[in-house]
Each structure stands twice: as structure tokens, then as C-alpha cells.
Structure 1
Amino acid sequence: MEEKLLTRRDFMRKTFQYAGAAALAGSLAGLEGANPSPALAGGGEVVAAGAGYSTDPDPWKAGREAAAMAKAKIKKPILALAFADPPHKDFDKVLAGVTSVLGSQVPLIGQTTGYAGGYSICPAGCIPKSIAVLLLESPYLKVGIGLGTGIKASPREAARKATLAALKDLNYNPWKDLQKVAPGPALAKHAPYTVMMMDDGYAGVVDYEIYGIQDVMGWAPLVGGCAGDDGSLGKAFVFFRGKAYNDAIVITIFSGPVKMGYGCGIAYKPVAGKCGVVTAGDGFREIYEIDGKPALEVWFEWTGSPREEILARESGAMFPYNQWHPIGVQEHIYPQWIWIKDPFRFIREKNGLGVGGIVPVGTTVHLLEVTTDSVIEDNLRSLRYALDYEGIKKVAAMVGFNCVERLTILQTEEGKVAENFNRIMELLGNPPVVGNAGAWGEQMFAPSGNIGAQNMTLCSLLIGDELLG
């Protein structure tokens, strides 16, 4: 496992060399996707939220400015989330800037963003080289946070410890308030706990971390994303109580009689006639054969991607061709849901594929395809699902984890980043929003109930400004 993780880290550093001039120009454009009328505060009756951002190059000043903007209408925050770009580098200073506004008693969590300058999702849109902060305030929403270290060596145990710590920090019996809610569909669907996870995108094995969470929680709605890098750090960081950690996972548990919503924008569709069974692999993240043929050759045959150009790369990077044609595994009882397995690198000595996410031998995989329009439309579909999950009519806040390769797809057509953000805000009523626009993997549960690691998706948590019942 250690050898595979090292290969993945090397790959993620080098992949950015192939991002291309157009993507770099998008990074330097400053405010691509900017919303001219950002929502800095929202909700208030049940959950109040405030969001802020900064592009000041000084890490302490940027943290302070983003936090001050978020706190303008928030009196007693119960949780602070911060997303920070790699160019700010000194994340302890960023967090010190946030703490200078909030004080040290407010729980402060977050992560680094990924890709060409580090894009955050913030009230102004999808912004590179930025710090974004969200504050939540509510007498009804309860929050606990926990940290687990050493995810490279022991992902399951680190996640289990972080979840236990978050549950202890929560120190709340949800049934005390839920028993006051009138019986009905809303109460039947509401889970007493919602789990949000953030991990180091370089070090972790998300599938095993999820097992560790479930060792403690059993089944609970889960949403999350992996911290990223733009290739300049060689590390990714998560934030916990005002300090930055790598090789770590942060767990946040939400509870209380507040309406919640969960969405996963997939967008990729199976290509008719292009599927097969994995007949050889390591049972982990390497596929050697599909239908008895070398997996890499099958992928080239399916996609028509430039074989010589890709194989000339010493790093094994498949970007950008993998983002247009990944492979995926369909849910048997809910085939609209696809677990995307990003073929981010080729394995020269095996003529195989290195993928994001575990793919056992015997798995049926499908070639997938996508367009910029399908990304936008499926983001909206997923958020309608999130609104309907518990019948949210008024959104207090949104937290989003958007795959880096979803961002690079939208950047291939002028104006699509802005269109995507603005249509999401219009659908949700323009609530305060923060997130990682360049996540290195996402986590979500399918309508079937299965929980797992996703690639190339937008995973969203909606917090309603409404009580159940």
C-alpha cells in the first residue's frame, strides 16, 4: 500500500505540468466565475450563516479579512470552516488571522484547496488564490469535531479515533429534541447524525477511512472531500482548532432537529457498448486486465486517446484525457448512480490503469463520457435532490466539495464556471456558500444507502434554516 500511495503523490505533483496554458490562464484571470452580488449572510430563524473571502496575498491578513466579512452579522458562531489556497503557504498564519477575529473558543476546521493557485468556493464565486470562511450560528444545530492522525499508515484507525473524538465533543443526545417532532415522513427520513469528513488528499485511503467512521457511527449520511494542492506544496493540509495538519483526517458531526440535504452531482454517463469485467488487478487501485485484455489497451481502444503522447510521459499522467473518459461502476439497484473510478495514471510495466477508488477483480466497469453542460445540469439535479431530501424550503448555508477535474472541464469553455455557480445560487436562493473547488476526491452516500469514495463529482451539504416537522 505504501508503494501505491507514493506513486499517487508523485503523480499528483506532476499532473499539473499537463494542465495546459488555458487552465493556467483561468487561474490567473482572477475572478472567473465571480458573482457580482455575493450573499455574505443568510438564514437566521433556525440557523444563521455568514461567509467571507479574501485574495490578500498576506496569509494573516487574508484569514482575518475573510473571517471579518463572515462575522459581520454573526454574533456567537458555533463552527467556523476555512478553505485556503496553496499560494498562501503558511496556513497556521491564515488560521491565526481567522482566530484574531473569532477568538480561540470557536471550533475552526477546514482544508487546503487544489489546482493552479487553489480555487475556493466562496460568496463571490469560484476564485483562485483565495481564503474562504463560513460561520454557523444556531441554538438548534449541534456540532462536534475530532482529529485523527497517521492516515497513511492506519487510515481506518485514524478515522475511527477522529469520529469517537467528534462524538465526545458533540456531547448531545439527539433524541432529546427529536422526540418532540411530530411523527411523519420528515422525522422518519431524518438521521440523528450527519458526518462531514476532510482528509489529506496525498496520504489517505478514503475507502478505509469510511470503514473507520462506520465502526463508530454505523450508517449515517456522510459528505466530504479530500484536501488538495496545486503541485507547489507537495503536501495537503486539514485544519483543526486553528492548526494545520497533514497525514490527518478531521471529522465533523452535526446533530439536532434541523433540516439537512445531501447532493452528489455525477454528470458522467456510460458509453453504450463499452464496458467489461475486471479480470486481473491488485484488488485495490490497479486494474491490469479487462475481459482478459490489457486494461490500458482496452481504454485506448474505447476512447481513441493519443496513445503515443500519453505513453511518452514518464510520470504516467493521463490528464486531460482521463477527465473526459473515466471508468465507472453502476449501482445495481440504482443504475443512475455511478461510482466514478478516475484512471489518473497508467502502469507501464503491467499495461494497466491506476484508478481512484478500490476496484475488486470481477467488477463490471463502464467507459464514461461528459460535457460541460452535463456537469452543470447534473449539479443542479443533485441539489434539487438535496433540497427534497428533507423538504428544505430555505437554505441557511451550503458547503461544497468539487473535484478538481470537474473544474478543469468547465474551464474548457468560456463562461461555464460562472454559469455553473450562478445557476446553483439561483436554485438555492443565494445562500452563503464555501467549499473546495479543487478537491482531490469526494465522499457521499448513494440513494441505495451505500457510502463510498467518489471521483470527479460535486458533493454538497445543505443546512436548512428550518426545523423538522
Structure 2
Amino acid sequence: MIKAGVGRSNNPDAIKAGAEAAKEALGEAGGKANLIFVFSTVAYDQEKMLEGVRSVSKEIPLVGCSTSGEIATEGPVSKHVAVMALNSDTIKFTIGLGKGVGVDSHKAGAMVAKDVQGKTEETLSLFMMLPDGLTGNGAAIVRGVQEVLGKNFPIMGGSAGDDFAFKKTYEYYQDQVLTDAVVGVGFSGKFSWGVGVRHGWEPIGLPMKVTKAEGAKLIEINNRPALSIYEDYFGKRAEELVKEPIAKMAYTYPLGMSVEGSPELLI
């Protein structure tokens, strides 16, 4: 059996916000939990917010990351901290950490997978990861995890955000606030699971070809600066786009790649 509780808060005081969200989540989970997830806006002082959560959750294993919007039972919000408490007598949760995403994303992925695998007493069935969303290559992190757990091992998760500022994200592991890291959770025991992914975006315009890239950084498309694509579509100059508007445009109108066997583009 698994019981879950969700809490959220937008209290202006970071410590109180973390504590309020954690208290609500634990209360809904029956007063105890085996794992705590924390998702928070970067508007809060990250250390103080996590201090507030831990003042309530104590030594319960904790993972999480900063966000660009939070989703709770009542629906999506922004500038909040959201906490989920999981309480189960059939599932064992094992948490792990990988560092240095920006230096070697593949190595960081392998590191977090090995950390989880080494601590797990039972056979792993599912792996969840929350990597830094800006410093590294998400695909390389996944490949690092697969190198350890197996190419076809089920993996799910999502990258950390920073309220669309695209400057710095944070990852939470126990009482630590980190950056340039990936946190992971291994699930083992007797349970059923399913993973589904859809984004809903539809392609506009004609297909183009990436002609220059460095890791996760897109430099040229059709032998032109990548930024020129947004100049063409939105009629703004590059010096205007590199300011705040480009972050919003890149999220609202992202670039996508076709993937063999998939009806949707990879965003």
C-alpha cells in the first residue's frame, strides 16, 4: 500500500513556507513518510526554505529541485513551495546523488545511478532523476544512468528550473542545496508502475537542419545563427531577444527534433 500527501505554501517567509508545506503533506500521508519530494520557486532563499521543510520532516529521506512553476492537488501555481510525502509498506525508496553535471554529464549520471544501486538492498524496478536543468546535457545524464542500470531500464524524471530566468537551478538532497548536480530515487519492492509523456506542441514552419552544436548548446541551424530563427518568426533583433523575451519565447515556442518511431517531436 502507498499513501501520499501533498502540501504547498506561498508564505513570504521562506522557513515558514517550507514548514507549512511539509506539515500539510505529512498530515495527509498519515503523519509519517518514507520519502519527501520538495519542489520550490527560486524566489525563496533556498537554504531557508529547505530548513523549514526539514524542521518538520526531520530525518526522512528527501530529494527535490527548484522549479518554473509548481503543481499540487489544487492545480498549477507559481512562486510556491510544494512538498509530497510518500508513505508505503510495499515500496522501498533509495536516494542518491551525482555531481559535476557541467563537467561530465555522462559521469554524473553514472555516479547517481551507482550511488542508488550501491545502497539498495533489493532489486531496483524503477529509477527517477532530477538533474540540473542548465549546466549539462540531459541526454548524456540518461546515458550515464543506463550504463549502470541497463539500456532498457525504466527511467523517468525532469530537469530543475528557475522560474524561467535560465540562470541557475538548484537540486535538493537531504539537507543540502546543490547546483550542477543530479539527484536520484530508486524504487524497489512489490508495486505496479506506468510512465507516460506528452507535450502537446505542434510544429510550425518547414523542417530545418542543425549544422553546428556543442553538447546541449545549439549554435547554427541551416548554417545560420540559431537565434536568427526567432528573429525570422518574431521580427525582433538578436540584441532584443537575448534579454528576457528569449526565455519566454524558447519555452512557448521551443525547437523540436523528429524522433524515429514517435508521433511527437522531441522538445
Distance in 1 between the 2:95 and 2:112 partners? 8
Confirm or deny: 8 A CA contact 1:145 1:167 kept in the other structure: no
Change beyond 3 A, Cα 1:323–1:66: closer
The residue type paired with residue 161 of structure 2 is G
Match of 2:7 among 31, 35, 52: 52
How many residues are aligned here?
Answer: 263
Structure 2 residue aligned with 1:72 = 27
Confirm or deny: 8 A CA contact 1:51 1:134 kept in the other structure: yes
Return the TM-score normalized by structure 2.
0.87
What does 1:37-436 align with in structure 2 at a 5 Å threshold? 46-73=1-28, 74-89=30-45, 91-104=46-59, 106-114=60-68, 119-173=69-123, 193-218=125-150, 219-230=152-163, 234-271=167-204, 274-278=206-210, 280-282=211-213, 284=215, 285-290=217-222, 294=224, 296=226, 299=229, 304-306=233-235, 309-313=236-240, 315=242, 318-334=246-262, 336-340=263-267
Q: Could you tell me which runs of 5 or more consecutive residues in structure 2 were left unpaired when the two chains were aligned.
A: none
Deviation at 1:98, TM superposition (A): 1.8
Confirm or deny: 8 A CA contact 1:200 1:249 kept in the other structure: yes
Distance in 1 between the 2:7 and 2:227 partners? 48
Confirm or deny: 8 A CA contact 1:63 1:94 kept in the other structure: yes
Deviation at 1:239, TM superposition (A): 0.5
Return the TM-score normalized by structure 1.
0.52
Deviation at 1:237, TM superposition (A): 0.9
1:194-222, Cα deviation, whole Å (9 max, x unpaired): 21111222322212111111111112222
The residue type paired with residue 38 of structure 2 is A
1:106-160, Cα deviation, whole Å (9 max, x unpaired): 101111113xxxx211223222221111011111112111011121112211221
The structure 1 segments of at least 4 consecutive aligned residues displaced by more than 6 Å after TM superposition are: none
Deviation at 1:232, TM superposition (A): 7.3
Distance in 2 between the 1:297 and 1:88 partners? 32
Larger Rg: 1
Confirm or deny: 8 A CA contact 1:194 1:221 kept in the other structure: yes
Distance in 1 between the 2:168 and 2:228 partners? 33
The residue type paired with residue 329 of structure 1 is M
* Structure with more contact order per residue of length (Cα contacts < 8 Å, sep ≥ 6): 1
Q: CA RMSD in A?
A: 2.6
Confirm or deny: 8 A CA contact 2:21 2:81 kept in the other structure: yes
DSSP 3-state at the match of 2:18: helix
DSSP 3-state at the match of 1:172: coil
Change beyond 3 A, Cα 1:333–1:244: same
Deviation at 1:314, TM superposition (A): 7.0
Confirm or deny: 8 A CA contact 1:53 1:123 kept in the other structure: no
Change beyond 3 A, Cα 1:231–1:268: closer
